[in-house]
Structure 1
């Protein structure tokens, strides 16, 4: 029996224009590249670290 893996959905709310290249790369790593785009990712420490690095550009959506 496999357990259902927890996921987290993030929405890009800020533009990467005039941001450092590492923040742009982090957004691409999260599967985001345009405003209001959503991405559902596994909820693990690597994903949470990436979200923390660009927390001013993304919003975590609960209940999805």
Structure 2
């Protein structure tokens, strides 16, 4: 089984650019304090790096 990451959205999406909103939505996050578990893949890591200041990440 692949490694997984638990991601929490700490900041809201208002005032963010379309690209940053798309990355957050692509990770499956919908609102503040929402948590999702995603696979640790290069695609997900790229989206995480683009919005690193808005989320917190830990191993699941």
TM-score, length of structure 2 as denominator length? 0.92
RMSD of aligned alpha carbons: 0.9
Picking from 2, 5, 24, the partner of 2:2 is 5
- 1:61 offset after TM fit, Å? 2.2
TM-score, structure 1 length as denominator?
Answer: 0.87
Give secondary structure in 1 for the equivalent of 2:37. strand
Q: Which has the larger radius of gyration?
A: 1
Q: What is the number of residues matched between the two proteins?
A: 60
The answer for unaligned runs of 5 or more in structure 2 is none
Runs of 4+ off more than 4 Å: none
Partner residue in 1 for 2:12: 15
Deviations 1:15-64 (A, max 9, x none): 110010111111100000100100101101111110000001110023x2
